[in-house]
């Protein structure tokens, strides 16, 4: 098992290198000049050239990439072109808001999705299963930004119940106690509902498929023949053995704790990493985009390794299959 994880770690490092290499060159070759955006339309050619030299943007792209890679490997993420602040500080300031939003949405999505998928599997082929399948597939297929805009339309502009933008009101600094908490929850409601609704659909589809496969296994038939209660068959036997693909899906959700749901954060002006990344791409803020991409790629690899380890812990068959390696 350790040898298998080691090989996957090396493969993951190669994936990270490929992602950052592709991102770097595509970003630099795309239309748009960060120096022109930084200095404005009144800057002279001499000023533009001097600023490019100061930022190292006048060097050949392979040399720029090698320099960035060396600095990043040493823990130096560079300085934001647009804000003039260290990239680590820019992302560090935005990260807590993303974690608060995404962690809550993952928790709710998986709790509700697992319950919904288990109910569908237990009543497979019934009208309940059909209705819930339509709901879950629809939620899974909806673009997050579109659903977010529809929620804003309904709850902000029509019902006038919830704010649409930001993580807090303009007077939040003067609020305390229950008033402060209510303000935070009201601003959290719509982006959290958007991410949770989309996540429920995906989790429910995975759980339903895994549960149906598990329910067809001989040990489930044996448990039913022994008179085990249906609820125990579903909860104790089927759901536990169907947990492996769900754990894998959860491991792959780890990068979202950093990058967030980029478009959802942009729609709701949520002050997280996703919004920072969108603004950095629009402003051609190369250091911010590269750092966020690199960290997200590392988290993807870490999520895969974590999912493999958890799957092996939950299912002895995975460990036995990996042992010869």
Q: What is the pLDDT of residues 176-205, one digit of tens each?
A: 888 888 988 999 999 999 989 988 888 888
Domains within the chain, CATH numbers bracketed:
2-9+92-161+189-322 (1.10.3720.10)
- What is the spatial distance between Cα 81 and Cα 54, in angstroms, rounded to a whole number? 11
Percent of the chain with pLDDT strictly greater than 90: 20
Contacts of 166 (CB under 8 A, 6+ apart): 187, 268, 269, 270, 271
pLDDT band, very low/low/confident/very high, at 164 (cuts 50, 70, 90): confident
Of the given ranges (116-130, 137-151, 250-264), which has the lowest mean pLDDT?
A: 250-264
User: Which residue shows structure tokens 């955006």?
Assistant: 37
The pLDDT assigned to 190 comes to 93
Lookup: tokens for 106: 């993952």
Contact 39, 51 (CB under 8 A): yes
pLDDT band, very low/low/confident/very high, at 315 (cuts 50, 70, 90): low
Average pLDDT score over the chain: 83
The pLDDT assigned to 324 comes to 41
| Whether the predicted pLDDT of 139 surpasses 60 | yes
State the pTM of this model. Answer: 0.80
The pLDDT assigned to 325 comes to 39
- What is the spatial distance between Cα 287 and Cα 87, in angstroms, rounded to a whole number? 7
317 against 100, higher pLDDT: 100
Contact 8, 300 (CB under 8 A): no
Compute and round to an integer the Cα radius of gyration of the chain. 24
| Whether the predicted pLDDT of 8 surpasses 80 | no
- What backbone torsions phi and psi does residue 79 show, to the nearest 5 degrees? -120, 135
């Amino acid at each position: 098992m350790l040898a298998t994880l080691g090989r996957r770690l090396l493969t993951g490092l190669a994936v990270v290198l490929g992602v950052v290499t592709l991102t770097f060159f595509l970003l630099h070759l795309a239309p748009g000049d960060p120096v022109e955006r930084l200095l404005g339309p009144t800057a002279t050619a001499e000023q533009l050239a001097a600023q490019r030299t100061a930022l190292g943007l006048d060097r050949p792209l392979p040399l720029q990439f090698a320099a960035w890679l060396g600095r990043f490997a040493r823990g130096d993420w560079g300085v934001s072109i647009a804000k003039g602040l260290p990239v680590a500080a820019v992302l560090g300031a935005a990260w807590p808001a993303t974690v608060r939003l995404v962690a809550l949405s993952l928790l709710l999505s998986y709790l509700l999705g697992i319950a919904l998928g288990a109910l569908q599997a237990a009543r497979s082929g019934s009208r309940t299963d059909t209705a819930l399948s339509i709901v879950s597939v629809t939620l899974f297929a909806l673009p997050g930004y579109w659903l977010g805009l529809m929620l804003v339309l309904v709850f902000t502009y029509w019902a006038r119940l919830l704010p649409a933008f930001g993580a807090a009101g303009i007077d939040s600094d003067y609020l305390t106690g229950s008033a402060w908490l209510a303000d935070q929850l009201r601003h959290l409601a719509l982006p959290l509902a958007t991410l949770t609704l989309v996540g429920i659909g995906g989790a429910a589809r995975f759980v339903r498929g895994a549960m149906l496969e598990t329910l067809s296994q001989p040990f489930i038939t044996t448990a039913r023949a022994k008179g085990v209660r249906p609820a125990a068959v579903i909860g104790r036997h089927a759901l536990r053995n169907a947990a492996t693909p769900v754990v894998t899906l959860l491991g792959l959700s780890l990068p979202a704790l950093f990058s967030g749901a980029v478009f959802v954060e942009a729609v709701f002006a949520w002050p997280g990493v996703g919004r920072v990344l969108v603004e950095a791409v629009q402003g051609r803020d190369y250091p911010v985009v590269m750092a966020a991409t690199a960290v997200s790629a590392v988290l993807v690899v870490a999520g895969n390794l974590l999912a493999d380890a958890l799957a092996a812990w939950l299912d002895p068959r995975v460990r036995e299959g990996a042992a010869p390696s």
